[in-house]
Structure 1
Amino acid sequence: MDFYWITTALGDIVWLALAFALGLLSRVIGLPPLVGYLAAGFLLNGTGVVSGDVLQQFADLGITLLLFTVGLKLNLRSLAKPQIWAVTGLHTTLVVAVFGLAVYALALFGTPFFAGLDFPQSILVAFALSFSSTVFVVKVLEEKGEMATPHGRIAIGILIMQDLAAVVFLAVSSGKSPSQWALLLVLLVLLRPLLHRLLQRVGHGELLVLFGFVLALGGAEIFELVGLKGDLGALLLGVLISNHSKAEEMAKTMLGFKDLFLLGFFLSIGLSGELTYETFIVGALIAPFVFVKAGLFFALLAYFRLRARTAFLASANLTNFSEFGLIVAMIGVTNGWLDREWLVVLAVALSLSFAIAATLNAMANDLYARHRPLWQRLQRSGRLPDDQPHDIDNATIAIVGMGGVGTGAYDTMRESFGDHVVGVEIDPITVKNQRGMNRKVLLGDPSDADFWDRVQATHTLDLIMLALPKLSTSLEVIEQLKLTSFKGRIAATARFPDEVVALQKAGASTVFNIYTEAGAGYAAHVAATTSPQPAE
């Protein structure tokens, strides 16, 4: 038996241990673990460690799985909205123009490190800085349970458009054209019914995970064979099954694998080049310009009639530089367009922008709530259809989160209280399915105080029942209800005893532990449907 792969993996155990230690430290101080992973990469770089094959394979597989899971949740029709494609195009153009002219001006004035850059090189640096990080944003949205929120969908849509622009750049800059066989890729759409049937038959265990890997890696390999970027193939295969009922389950089962392999990507950023005092200072000076990007995003999204909160939170999500910027810089270095030092500068700027964005996103809801009148003055008066006031008729009970638990709670409460019950859900597909089964469900973000203002503009709810999968989301909803001066009762679900304590401390009047109390509910159900048998 060949144990070479074991010895290779053990040789990298120090990297993994250091990444774990700094990732844990980042979580303790309130930052996402990925900030610690980046710090581990730079620390290893400073000790002379270079990136190895195992780490690079982790990084490549992590990005492939990331784009596959993004495809599983992607609604192509959303990309056709001007709030997506127009904002992306305008923002990229403005950032490249503003940043490019700024960099070129520094070069003309002979500023150290910038001196010697010509205009095309300045534009290339600006183009690398125009992207926002798909890896970072998806991780943050998943951790906060906000992938399906309006601002989450807007941010993901913009990132997909940016990623497609990056793919075009890579194809053009490589000097190679896709194979003539690339035209046959359109035939992959014909595989959709077969993929759906297979997905239906794989069950819920290890076969589901294995099928996910086959689709992600198979799609990547097919695209590579015809001269296209493989990650785009993983994205497409995810899109092909995105409307299947088990797509969400597959995304959840792949989550742990994706997070593990993305560790390699974040470590590889810090190991991308030699870190010097000069490159660190220049990267640190560039990092704050992410706020210029954020301001442009907010202005454009507000101009296209998004509500102030949606525009603000989406802009906060996008307040970072991107791993694609490093790829663009690497292409420039490989082709002799840029000096290698610029790759390190952009890596430093990227890492620091992640720390900035992590802090900003942790505070985003509070920042908006604290200055809500200011932000609302900046939004346009016209409203999009999704932003119209909600009519809940005579409902006095709201079930928030229409998954399995929420749907069961809705049906039970409706049997007792009739039309006085309404559901609330952030996922438009779930809302459509629930309405198709004659349930009264509103589309909205329950962690948005503006949403509750619109709901209660002419109505008063007496009871709000939270059936949400994440503790952080439930706590955020309770906090937003306090901001709207909600006077009714709040019930919530929990999975662990510490979550019960946290929800009660936050203001929930009733907390139901779905694990410890499931047995009692199960026994009560069986007792109610089973006739007692005489004892022998």
Structure 2
Amino acid sequence: MLDPLIIVIALACGMASRAAGLPALIGYLAAGFLLHELDIGGGGILATLSEIGITLLLFTIGLKLNPRDLLRTHIWGTTVAHMAAMQLFFLGVFYLADALIPGLTIDFTAGLVGAFALTFSSTVFVIQVMQERGEMASRHARLAIGILIIQDLAAVIFLGFSAGKVPGPEALLLLLLLPLRGLILRLLTLSGHGELFTLFGLTLALGGAGLFEATGIKGDLGALIIGAVLAGHQKAKELSRNLLQFKDLFLVCFFLSIGLEGWPQREMILLAAVLGVLALVKPPLYFLLMTRLHTPPRTALLASLPLTNYSEFGLIVVAIAASAGWMDAQWSAAISLAIAISFIIASPLNRMAHVLYRRWHRQLQGFETEVVRAAYPDTRDVRVIVLGMGNIGTGAYEAMAERFGEAVLGVDDNDRKLAQHQRARRRVVAADASDPDFWQRIDLDGVELIMLALTNHEENKLVGKLLGDLGYQGRIAAVVRFSEEAEELESAGISAFNLYAQAGSGFAAHAAAQLGQ
């Protein structure tokens, strides 16, 4: 049975970490070390729950796979080149550490696996940063997450080989999963949206892992494959959201188990401190690779800075390698300390991301390629701008286009939506609404109205503040969902339209029209 004190200590440490502006992950790692000092063990149930967390992590990664996005050169090219360079860099670091730190011995296999583990960046950290800034839908967020997914795939391949198993001939039967995709998705649809739907998802992840294990293939790899088979469907996206909390909760047990193994030797603690600081080497190389592969400098900077850290997936790689006897178990504790230090360094750096871009704007623009300059959108003679061309934004665009014609400009950062609007002959450009470079290419003196149809309150606030900083004197209107959001925007001089409050009157008007009144 899991000791309730473990839950209380994990919660307290996680809350303290979040209050300090750091990811809760650091608190969970600290809780594990504290529990070790208190001589409180987790028993077999903690190990079981941590294994479930890893399985769900891989399953949800599979659900989000989109080969079309991942095959873009600036995503896979940046990832592969960066991982190769970091592998060589950290191998060099371990070679020097072995020579300079008395009492430290790092054999080649341990160094190779340790360097590989340090090439990853944290998905948890990146998502937290983007959510807090209201930038999850931005181009730089999609770029960073695409890089993380490819890194995770590299880790999964490693996990698959680490099992050392030879699949039996019955593994060929797993190919039947492909034609069964339609049936599984139909069953997911029939299961609704509640607890039955979530239970079905857990069954697919855990049952699928067991199925692959029975054929001689590592179960974690099987969970990812099953997730990938379902990827691209709307139900797969919904399932990923439903399982998110379960995955995060079970992964807490994994982080606790790392600390429960105890502190590494003094030499390894020193090495961990050095490695934590060396995370600062990552973002300059990311930025250089991204810009060389025709990523705009601002997008490259804002995608690079959240990657200034090491990954919880690196911990999983080290734990698996330690269990296989390839490296000492204390490497897990050392890497966990390096991760914590990298998070502490990266947190204030990311809070200053937009400030850093504005401060070094001129110098960073020197990395812009001709391909990027040639793709600048046409923003001449604009009087009305609609930001966010979803259903609400499209309706607003059509209404304004009847009055202002070609002087209405739609803006969206989604390439799929952009293609749809261009086929419908709407004047829509691809741009990030929070990008000051985009706004500086527009004659804001001629713009009478800017409509924020982003439905993300944090992003609405960010764009409103940016326009104020640029001296925009026209009118701004925004869509909101809650009254407190409306009050906050109104106080900033932005006219707020409460989507839910106005929906009733709109529905009544529509119904009255059906009665001919």
Aligned-partner Cα distance in 2 for 1:196–1:285: 48
Instruction: Give the % identical residues.
Output: 45
- Are 1:487 and 2:503 matched, yes or no? no
Find the aligned partners of 1:327 and 1:316 in 2 and give their Cα distance. 23
Shift of 1:321: 1.0
How far the C-alpha of 1:367 sits from its partner, in A, is: 2.1
Cα distance, 1:38–1:473 mapped onto 2, change above 3 Å: farther
| Alpha-carbon distance between aligned partners in 1 of 2:400 and 2:111, rounded to the nearest angstrom | 62
Structure 1 pair 32/487, CA: closer, same or farther in 2 (3 Å)? farther
Aligned residue pair count = 517
Tell me whether 1:40 sits opposite 2:31 in the alignment. yes
Spell out the pairing of 1:207-222 with structure 2 (5 A cutoff). 207-222=196-211
* Offset from partner CA, 1:350-375 (integer Å, 9 cap, x none): 12222333333333233223322222
The residue type equivalent to 1:473 in the other structure is: E
Residues 283, 346 of structure 1: 8 Å contact kept:
yes
Kept in 2, the 8 Å contact 1:464–1:491? The answer is: yes
In structure 2, relative to structure 1, the CA distance for the partners of 1:108 and 1:224 (3 Å cut) is: same
How far residue 349 of structure 1 moved from its aligned partner, in angstroms, is 0.6
For the pair 1:499 / 2:490, whether they are aligned, the reply is: no
Give matches, 1:150-299, under 5 Å. 150-274=139-263, 279-299=268-288
Of 460-469 and 137-146, more deviation after overlay is shown by 137-146
Cα offset for 1:531? Answer: 5.2
User: What residue in structure 2 maps to residue 326 of structure 1?
Assistant: 315
Distance 1:214 1:511 in 2: 44
Deviations 1:23-75 (A, max 9, x none): 33344343333333333333333322333444444433344334444434332
Q: What is the letter of the counterpart of residue 51 of structure 1?
A: G
**Cα distance 1:467–1:159, how it changes in 2: closer, same or farther (>3 A)?**
same
Amino acid in structure 2 at the alignment position of 1:21: A
Partner secondary structure for residue 383 of structure 1: helix
Q: Mapping of 1:417-428 within 5 angstroms?
A: 417-428=404-415
Matched with 1:31 is: 22
Cα distance 1:311–1:240, how it changes in 2: closer, same or farther (>3 A)? same
Task: Tell me if 1:64 matches 2:17.
Answer: no
Task: In structure 1, list runs of 5 or more residues that go unmatched.
Answer: 1-7
What is the distance in 1 between the residues matched to 2:425 and 2:30? 52
Distance 2:414 2:52 in 1: 28
Aligned partner of 2:369 in structure 1 is 381
Does the 8 A contact of 1:399 with 1:423 survive in 2?
Answer: yes
Secondary structure, aligned partner of 2:497:
strand
Judge conservation of contact 1:31–1:359 (CA < 8 Å) in 2: no
Q: From the superposition, tell whether residues 170 and 215 of structure 1 become closer, same or farther in structure 2 (CA, over 3 Å).
A: closer
- 1:218 & 1:460 partners in 2: Cα distance? 60
Task: Say which SS state the counterpart of residue 217 (structure 2) adopts.
Answer: coil
1:291 Cα offset (Å): 0.8
Cα separation, 2, equivalents of 1:105 and 1:353:
20
Identify the residue that residue 3 of structure 1 maps to in structure 2: none
The residue aligned with 1:137 is 126
Please give the alpha-carbon distance, in whole angstroms, between the structure 1 residues aligned to 2:355 and 2:255.
28
207 and 463 in structure 1: CA distance in 2 versus 1, 3 angstrom threshold: farther
CA shift at 1:230, angstroms?
3.2
After TM superposition, the score normalised by the length of structure 1 is: 0.84
Q: Does 1:472 align with 2:458?
A: yes
What residue is the counterpart of 2:78 in the other structure? 87
Cα distance in 2 for residues equivalent to 1:214 and 1:435: 42
Looking at structure 2, the residues matched to 328 and 363 of structure 1 have their Cα atoms a distance apart, in angstroms, of 31
Counterpart-to-counterpart distance in 2, 1:381 and 1:77: 24
CA distance, structure 2, for counterparts of residue 323 and residue 38 of structure 1: 11
8 Å CA contact retained: 2:23, 2:125: no
The answer to whether 1:444 aligns with 2:427 is: no
Q: Contact conserved, 1:38 with 1:269, CA < 8 A, in 2?
A: yes
Distance 1:259 1:495 in 2: 27
Question: Residue 273 of structure 1 contacts residue 343 of structure 1 at CA under 8 Å; is this kept in 2?
Answer: no
Describe the shift of the 1:215–1:48 C-alpha distance in structure 2 as closer, same or farther (beyond 3 A). Answer: same
Aligned-pair CA distance for 1:510: 0.6
Q: Calculate the TM-score normalised by the size of structure 2.
A: 0.87
Structure 2 unaligned regions, length at least 5: none
Amino acid at match of 1:486: Y
Q: Cα distance 1:221–1:487, how it changes in 2: closer, same or farther (>3 A)?
A: farther
How many Å apart are 1:295 and its aligned residue?
2.0
2:134–2:457 contact (8 Å) kept in structure 1: no
Q: Are 1:17 and 2:45 an aligned pair?
A: no
Indicate the RMSD between aligned Cα atoms, in angstroms: 3.3
One-letter amino acid of the counterpart of residue 478, structure 1: G
Q: Report the Cα distance in structure 1 between the residues aligned to 2:165 and 2:41, rounded to whole angstroms.
A: 30
Change in 2 beyond 3 A, CA 1:22/1:89 = same
Q: CA deviation at 1:435?
A: 4.9
Distance 1:160 1:106, change over 3 A: same
Residue 231 of structure 1 and its aligned partner are, at CA, apart by 3.6
